[in-house]
Structure 1
Amino acid sequence: MSTNEPGDDGSQQKYDLEEEEEMPLAERDLADDAPWKRIQQNTFTRWCNEHLKVAKKHISSLETDLSDGLRLIALIEVLSQKRISKFNKRPTFRSMKLENVSIAIKFLEDQNIKIVSIGK
């Protein structure tokens, strides 16, 4: 008797196939190159941390640590060797965090740095 549940005799393979069929094609494509994306993410994180040493800051996760704009601003200041004077130094609200990211992106645009596929 096969119930297509994991752990039943011979049904694990059927369960895996059904699970794969349920996964959208785009999601499967992302899963296929996930190791490459992880390598890129780790490489960029190490590169950021190497530069952020000057500012005595550190990034553990690109997805979360840049979200308030503070480490992003610190990285931009280190790389450009210029100060960004007006930003929220202790952002507590989402709007303050978004404003910091906007300030960072605006600074890059003002420096004539072309930003592709990155938005506020």
Structure 2
Amino acid sequence: EDLWVEIQANTFKNWVNEHLRESGMQVTDFHDDFCDGTYLCALVEGLQKRPLKPSWNKRPANQHHYLENATTALNAIEADGVKLVNIGNVDIVNGNVKLIL
């Protein structure tokens, strides 16, 4: 199972980094890089080719900001018709790699 997670994480990391290129961000570790929501928000903006609304906090200072960023990104994903199952803002902020993948 650990090997599966590692393979999936590397594949997804390459895909994410391709879509983050314009933002100047690069994921090295999902647990650390996604926990404040900034990478996820930048990724969603890059995929949607438009700014997220409401706007997100590009320099989050506390867990409240992290949760708001993750919520903003997840809401934008759902607004595009993607059904999210068993993942929420807390999962992202807590760095649950299996659910992030």
TM-score, normalization: structure 1? 0.69
Q: Which residue of 2 aligns with 1:97?
A: 66
TM-score, normalization: structure 2? 0.80
State which structure, 1 or 2, has the greater radius of gyration over its C-alpha atoms: 1
- Deviation string for 1:18-58 (max 9, x for gaps)? xxxxxxxxxxxxxxx21121111111111101111121110
2:73 paired with 1:108: no
TM-superposed CA distance for 1:65, in Å, is 0.2
TM-superposed CA distance for 1:117, in Å, is 2.4
Runs of 4+ more than 2 Å apart: none
TM-superposed CA distance for 1:109, in Å, is 1.5
Q: Which residue of 2 aligns with 1:51?
A: 19
Identity %: 36
5 Å-filtered alignment, 1:1-120, equals: 33-85=1-53, 86-120=55-89
- Deviation string for 1:33-91 (max 9, x for gaps)? 21121111111111101111121110010111011111111100111112114111211
What RMSD in Å do the two structures reach over aligned CA positions? Answer: 1.1
TM-superposed CA distance for 1:116, in Å, is 2.0
Query: Whole-Å Cα distance in 1 between the matches of residues 7 and 87 of structure 2?
Result: 20
Query: Whole-Å Cα distance in 1 between the matches of residues 46 and 52 of structure 2?
Result: 11
Query: Whole-Å Cα distance in 2 between the matches of residues 36 and 108 of structure 1?
Result: 25
